[in-house]
A and B are shown apart, each in its own frame.
Chain A
Amino acid sequence: MNAAANEGFMDYQKLLNQTVQEIKPSGIRKYFDLAHQMKDVISLGVGEPDFATPWEIRQAGIDSLKERKTWYTANRGLEKLCCAISKYYMERFGLCYAPNAEIMVTVGGSEALDLAIRALISPGDEVIIPQPSFVCYEPITRLCGGVPVIIETKAEDSFKLRAKDLAAAITEKTKLLVLPFPANPTGAVMRKEDLEEIAEVLREKEIMILSDEIYCELTYGSPHVSIAQLEGMQEKTILVGGFSKSFAMTGWRLGYALAPEAVLKQMLKIHQFAIMSSPTTSQYAAIKAMSDYEGYIAPMREEYDRRRRLIVEGFNRLGLTCFQPEGAFYIFPSIKKTGLTSEEFCQKLLQEERLALVPGTAFGDCGEGYVRVSYAYSLKHITQALERLEKFMKQFD
């Protein structure tokens, strides 16, 4: 008997976990599916680099395969890679993490985020999540029985997390603060002085910080500062990074977590049972990436910066104003002057001009009135998209 025939007997709704069923699928997806069904669509929707992984890094992956390195690695990851990550954080941020105790390699930054939340959150614990932000923090928290406490960041604050909002959100049940900067979808960054204010609020509290710094290499104003660099903060911080965005290695699925040993030990346990070890080929490639990180990243960062300037000017000129984003590869312009909701705007733009953007609401309710625009696209592509947008915006003059 096949599964379909069996279906009559099975009450899947009853069988499936209630929390899982209640989670909505990611709002980013919907527009891609729509766009894929139409012809001649230009998209500024995608959240991953358009560059291919630098050739030498790819070659290192290929070499590892030729050398028959096709087995599992240690749960934590290759020792050489953990050491390379440790060296990078020392050189780049002056942060000291022990390769054999405070570092682990994960399947993308995403796994590290999942592990961190799972290792910390018990039912009823509160997790503070600033929004608009990446889509995964809230569902993972819910899966653990945790309670997401949303802080809405605002355009007039350049979408930074403000200390007073944080202080107001903290209760006795607060266990974790998610700090996702440089931010997807807004491009916001937290400078040292902004982080100092946050650290001030947290210093006397027993609250951990999940600092999602996957975009740390893609900042355009000043170099990234991690909250772990501030006095007394490293022991409160789980720092998540990865190779996807900075080295254009999304498909390799490789990230890492840096955390105090006691926390990392528990995360490693979950990883051990759920994943075993991160992809071996990717780990060898990543060692190569770390061997000359600035050399690989700098040309891409420069290219993103040019595109960023072009696209910010383009949107502002058309009256879709956005603040100057300083990180990641997104801008988050306001579409309020059109009188449309984010969803309506994106739908209409897709139908009339075949340009696909992602509505701000995919990143939290407070994303209403905004759209996410990615500039991980060629200059030619961006120029074409701006032309379509200009045509579209004429009706709102």
Chain B
Amino acid sequence: MNQILNLLAEDASLSIHQLAVMTGKSEEEVKKEKEMLEEAGIIKGYRAVIDWDKTEKEDVTALIEIRVSPKAHLGFDEIARQIASFEEVESVFLMSGSFDLCATVVGKSLKEVAFFVSGKLGVMDSVLSCATHFILKKYKDSGISFGDEPEDERGRE
């Protein structure tokens, strides 16, 4: 596995210098490799993982199970891309199991998300049904725990 990828997957804020030191490569090499990963579309972006509940922002997120009916010229991929193109949609996955696609949608209020589902998503020709689940509390996201950091209890040796 690519070391740079592993490190960035854990902490995207690592500097070129830190990456170089940790992998034993030169800064020039790391810079080049990182750019290559970006250009190849392997690294898709860099975002902070934020616990919005600790801020003023009152966004709501919903997880929506979607059943669709693919057609000859409109397969799962095309439908998923159409759904992904709505700016309210944060992520879209193709699923196995009792529904086909799963999307997470962010809105300012329950109402806004509900209107998005009934007004934009649910009315799409290829969408058979939607089941909307609102996320009430986040415990862990992107591998980062949202609880209080456990105290380091070592040092009593």
A310 in contact with B21 (CB, 8 Å)? yes
Q: Which of B73-105 contact A (CB under 8 A)?
A: none
A46-B152, A306-B7 known; 7 new pairs, CB 8 Å cut-off, are A32-B155, A46-B155, A47-B157, A50-B152, A50-B154, A309-B21, A379-B11
Nearest-Cβ distance from residue B40 to partner chain A, whole angstroms: 24
Contact of B41 with A by CB under 8 A: no
User: Residues 32-69 of chain A: 1 if any B CB is under 8 Å from the residue's CB, otherwise 0?
Assistant: 10011000000101111010000000000000000000
Report the interface size for chain B: residues with CB under 8 A from the other chain. Answer: 14
Interface residues of B in 23-70 (CB under 8 A from A): 23-24
Total A-B contacts with CB atoms under 8 angstroms apart = 35
Q: How far is the CB of B128 from chain A (nearest CB, A)?
A: 40
Q: Does B71 sit at the interface, judged by CB under 8 A?
A: no
Whether B156 sits at the interface, judged by CB under 8 Å, is yes
Interface residues of B (CB under 8 A from A): 7, 10-11, 14, 18, 21-24, 152, 154-157
- Whole-angstrom distance from the CB of B151 to the nearest CB of chain A? 11
How many interface residues does chain A have, given as a range?
A: 10 to 19
**Cα distance A15–B47 in the bound complex, in angstroms:** 66
User: Is B155 a contact partner of A313 (Cβ separation < 8 A)?
Assistant: no
A313-B154 in contact given A379-B11, A380-B11 (Cβ < 8 Å): no
Contact in complex: A48, B157 (CB < 8 Å): yes
Query: Are A309 and B22 CB-contacts (below 8 A) given A379-B11, A380-B11?
Result: yes
For B154, the chain A residues whose CB sits under 8 A away are 46, 48, 50
Interface residues, chain A, CB within 8 Å of chain B? 28, 32, 35-36, 43, 45-48, 50, 306-307, 309-310, 313, 379-380, 383
CA distance A383 to B11 in the complex (A): 12
- Whether A310 touches B157, Cβ cut-off 8 Å, given contacts A379-B11, A380-B11, is no
- Bound-state CA distance A45–B22 (Å) is 21
Q: A250 → chain B, closest Cβ, in Å? A: 8
Closest to B18 in A: A310
Complex-state Cα separation, A155 to B154, whole angstroms: 29
Nearest Cβ on chain B to A305's Cβ, whole angstroms:
8
Write the nearest CB–CB distance from A325 to chain B, whole angstroms.
15
Q: Is the CB of B157 within 8 A of A28?
A: yes
User: In whole angstroms, how far apart are the Cα atoms of A35 and B155 in the complex?
Assistant: 10
Chain B CB within 10 Å, residue with most, of A28, A35, A50, A306: A306
